[in-house]
Structure formats: structure tokens, C-alpha cells
A = this chain, B = another copy of it.
């Protein structure tokens, strides 16, 4: 299984990567190599697939690739076009495409919109190579007990190969693994589940592919958040005679030699290498759940920055916990030398904030700039004086400060070509405790799906892993504040974060009603206030930068709420 990282739209580069990893598999002595779902286009290609030229180009890349593949059977995801377009897998063998499978189950919920694009396939595909029968499937196909796997197994499949672009969220691995083990046991088949790796806008594909034997045991496991060739030797004992099953076609392939150019040497490698590798991989355990989240945030940030052509990121540092986490993740993803932290004090900024931001920057090895905003603030006050007259300073004046900071970061971005990373967490983004065009200004919202409580836990984990206080101790202990007026703390406006996070999880992720949430043990008045804040800030979220999904329901393509919305009012 080639657990690789394609880029959406980079058709030629993705085909080239497919060839490169096919050759690695060939060298490792593999007979069959799997790629992820939609390997040629990347996932999700969204409305690109509505462009006829895009689909034609992806088919041309696949055809040209297939001519170069000999001596190994490769199964490669692409977009097929017949009477409609299909989410497809090409069976490449002996320099050509021998058959094409069309995904039957198309997900159209959560972050998925596959029914917008693709027609579902209507027949399953088995192929037989050297006496072993493989059933081909794509992602969602394997999630249904009554799906194609049952028919493929009945028709004699020994191994189900499943191509995936399965986005990460915390806890998903356990669900996947449980489902795959059940599917393998129930159908008496080996399952090779290969997943994409990489970041694409708000999604992160986590890899963590698996091979499960007939008994439901995981016999190999792909790395989390990294490209890897997962090589496994399978013992196949025929379980039952082949049957003819309606809707399952069987293609018989003859084993072929690699093209002379690659030579005997590769073909004749013993499978011992592969066995050794498989045994090694087998020992890889699922990782700590906080490390897994940090891995997702790191890869999501790294890929967004690099795949969009940036080399350097800039973060506004407040001395608080959110910007500390974002700066630490950026330094981890890009290297400290490619990150600039900017501290932008006003009259409301404390000395402690400066000290903490500076200490953090030093610990991370990132550039630290201080740009005071007081002069600009006075400029606005003077420009607006005729209109604001003697009005009491309030939200308008607070937001101006946040917007000055946003503008300064964007100016640095415009001048030096840096990407601005925003620092708002999921709790703030949910209730709209953030300034549109202010602290929400930037290209990528790294911790948009991380609730405040989890921000603290992830920071603690980073310090623990580093064996030192990268994020200064005081950042954990002081009261969270936006420092937009004197003696302000977040809790002037919001309930305590543990209460807020629990209410938000119930409302945003679980669609619970006010009554149901109150029944969990929160005052109905608080619940209603939080819900009002969430519903009333949809217009802000609509203009927020994308950020990395790590929860079952993130604030992005996952949750599509109307702005104009009278419900509950």
C-alpha cells in the first residue's frame, strides 16, 4: 500500500508520484500496489471535476502512467468519464488499464458532496492474479455490511483492497478499525485499507492504513500523518469455491515480468525484505490521542502553507495560550526560521503579555517583532471623532484595535509574501468572540476546531514532549483576556470555558436542543445565551479563513447554516 500525499489539481505531479511509488513497491518485491482514492486528481477536487478539460486531463495522465507500469499490478484512483463521471479505480497491469471500477456508495454528508459530482457505479469488480482473487472497492463502499464486499467475498475474493481518502477526526481510527475487523471476519476476507495522507484546505488525511487478516487481526499498520510504503506478505488459503454472483465481474490477469529496463534484479528479490518490513510495521501502535491531534494540526498547517506556495508564516502573538499554540505548531511544521511572531501592544497591554510572547518566541526560535499600535489607534479616534462625538467607548473602539493588528499582519504578508495564521480557537469561533477583519484576518485558522480546554491540554502535551517549558508557565495560569480594555477577561462575556465547551459540543457537534443541553446539568439561561451567540455569529464564520478539522463536526463544510435564520428567535 502506497500511503502517499497528492495535491488537488496537480495531475501530472500526482501521476509522477504514482509512478515513483509503484517503482518503490516493485523494488520491495510487491505483486500488487494500492494508491489512495482519487490519487490522480487529489481529494476532494470539488467543482474542478465539473470542468470537462480537467477530467480529460486526468484521464490522459492516467493513460500515460499506465503505459509505464509493468511487472506489478497497480490500483489507482482517478475520475472516469463514460455517460457521466465516476469516482473510479483503474486496474493497471502489463502497461495498460485492464478494467475500471466505479465507486458504488457515494458519501454526501458532513464534509462530503460526492453526489454533486459522481454517478454511483452499479457493479463490483474482482480480479484474479496468480490464483489469488482481489476485490476492489473505494472508501464508503466498505462501510456498509450489505455493500459490495459481501458480494465480492461470495464471488471468491480472498483480499479486499480498499482505496481511501478518509479525513481525520479525533477518534475516527478506532471506528475505522472496528468496522474493518468486523468486515474482515464476517466475510472471511483479508482487507487492505489504504488511506491518503496530507492536508487539503480544511481536511487532513491521516494515513494510518491497515491490513486485517481473515480473523479480524490487524497485521500491518501505516504511519500516522506521513507518507509510507506498507509492504505485507499475505498467506492466502482458498476458503471456498468461486461462485457467479450477479453484479460482480471477474478479470483474470496473468502475472507479467517487469519491463526489461528495470531488469531481473528487481523481479527476483526474495520476499524476505517484504516480510521483515511487514513484521516491523506490525508493531506500530496507534498513538496517544493528543499526539495524534498535534500530528493532524502540524500536517494540515505544513501542507496548506507549502501547497499554496508559501515558505514563511506570521502569527500575531498576544502572550496568550491560543497564539502560543499556533506559533508552536507553525514552528514545528515549518521550522522556527520560517515563522515570525508579531507583538502589537496597545495601552491595555500588560508587561506580562510582552514577557510571555518574547519568551515563547525565544523558546521556539522564531523571529520576534514588536509593532505598537497606539499611534494608529489615535489616528482612527481622530478620524472618527466627528461621528462618534462624545459617545462612550465600546465594541466599536475595541474592534478597531483588533483590526489594526489584523491590518499590520496583512501588511507584512503583502510586503514579504508571508502567510498570516490566525489564532482563534473553536470556542471563540463558535460564539463569535472574535473580531471580523481583526484577529480573524488571515489565510489559515490553525486551531479553529480546537476548543479552549483542549488548547491548554495540547500546549501541556507539547511542553511535556519537549521535556521543557516551550510555552511559559504563566501562559497556562493567567486568566484569558482579549486586552481590548482595562481589566478585561474573557469570562466577563463568556461562561467559564469548561461549561462553554461542554455546551458547544452538545449544540454544535451533536445538534442537541436547549432543553436537552440544560438536562446535561447547565442552567437553561446560560445554554440559551450560548446558543444565541452561536446562531448570531454565523455571518462572521462565513467570512473566516479555513482551518483544520479535528472533530467529528468542524465549523466549515461540515456545518452549513443559513446566516438569515429566525429559528429560536
Chain A positions within 8 Å of B, measured between CB atoms, are 7-11, 13, 42, 44-48, 50-54, 57, 108-109, 113, 115-116, 199-201, 303-304, 307-308, 369, 371-373, 375-380, 382-384, 386-388, 391, 394-396, 399-400, 403-404, 406-408, 410-412, 414-415, 436-437, 441, 443, 511, 513, 515-516, 539, 542-546, 559-569
Contact A386 B415 (CB under 8 A): no
Contact B399 A410 (CB under 8 A): yes
Q: Identify 16 residue pairs between A and B in the complex whose beta-carbon atoms are under 8 Å apart, listed by A's number.
A: A8-B564, A8-B565, A9-B565, A44-B562, A47-B559, A48-B562, A53-B515, A108-B116, A116-B560, A376-B376, A376-B383, A383-B408, A388-B411, A395-B414, A403-B407, A546-B563
Which residues on B sit within 8 Å (CB–CB) of A387? 369, 371, 412, 415
Contact A46 B561 (CB under 8 A): yes
Q: Out of B10, B511, B545, B569, which one reaches A543, CB within 8 Å?
A: B545
The distance from the CB of A552 to the nearest CB of chain B, in whole angstroms, is 13
Contact A201 B563 (CB under 8 A): yes
Which residues on B sit within 8 Å (CB–CB) of A567? 8-11, 48, 54, 57
Interface centre among A11, A54, A199, A539 (most CB of B within 10 A): A539
- Other than the given A108-B115, A375-B383, A396-B411, 20 more pairs (CB < 8 A) read A7-B566, A8-B562, A9-B567, A13-B566, A46-B562, A48-B561, A50-B511, A52-B511, A115-B115, A200-B564, A201-B563, A304-B564, A371-B386, A372-B383, A396-B414, A399-B411, A403-B403, A403-B407, A403-B410, A410-B437
Which residues on B sit within 8 Å (CB–CB) of A375? 379, 382-383
The distance from the CB of A445 to the nearest CB of chain B, in whole angstroms, is 10
CA separation between A394 and B304, bound complex, in Å?
26
CA separation between A280 and B50, bound complex, in Å?
45
The distance from the CB of A366 to the nearest CB of chain B, in whole angstroms, is 15
Contact B200 A562 (CB under 8 A): yes
Contact B371 A384 (CB under 8 A): yes
CA separation between A201 and B109, bound complex, in Å?
22
Which residues on B sit within 8 Å (CB–CB) of A561? 46-48
The distance from the CB of A247 to the nearest CB of chain B, in whole angstroms, is 22
Which residues on B sit within 8 Å (CB–CB) of A47? 559-561
CA separation between A97 and B206, bound complex, in Å?
50
CA separation between A228 and B231, bound complex, in Å?
69
Which residues on B sit within 8 Å (CB–CB) of A565? 8-9, 48
Which residues on B sit within 8 Å (CB–CB) of A396? 411-412, 414-415
The distance from the CB of A56 to the nearest CB of chain B, in whole angstroms, is 9
In chain B, what residue has the closest Cβ to A399? B414
Which residues on B sit within 8 Å (CB–CB) of A377? 379
The distance from the CB of A27 to the nearest CB of chain B, in whole angstroms, is 27
Which residues on B sit within 8 Å (CB–CB) of A414? 394-396, 399
The distance from the CB of A341 to the nearest CB of chain B, in whole angstroms, is 13
Which residues on B sit within 8 Å (CB–CB) of A9? 562, 565-569
Which residues on B sit within 8 Å (CB–CB) of A443? 539
Which residues on B sit within 8 Å (CB–CB) of A109? 116
Which residues on B sit within 8 Å (CB–CB) of A44? 562
Q: Out of B8, B303, B543, B564, which one reaches A308, CB within 8 Å?
A: B564
CA separation between A412 and B563, bound complex, in Å?
21
CA separation between A387 and B418, bound complex, in Å?
13
Interface centre among A7, A375, A407 (most CB of B within 10 A): A407
The distance from the CB of A12 to the nearest CB of chain B, in whole angstroms, is 9
Contact B379 A408 (CB under 8 A): no
The distance from the CB of A278 to the nearest CB of chain B, in whole angstroms, is 33
The distance from the CB of A506 to the nearest CB of chain B, in whole angstroms, is 12
Interface centre among A379, A386, A394, A559 (most CB of B within 10 A): A379
CA separation between A443 and B563, bound complex, in Å?
10
CA separation between A83 and B410, bound complex, in Å?
50
The distance from the CB of A327 to the nearest CB of chain B, in whole angstroms, is 18
In chain B, what residue has the closest Cβ to A108? B115
In chain B, what residue has the closest Cβ to A12? B566
In chain B, what residue has the closest Cβ to A386? B371
CA separation between A500 and B415, bound complex, in Å?
28
CA separation between A375 and B377, bound complex, in Å?
10
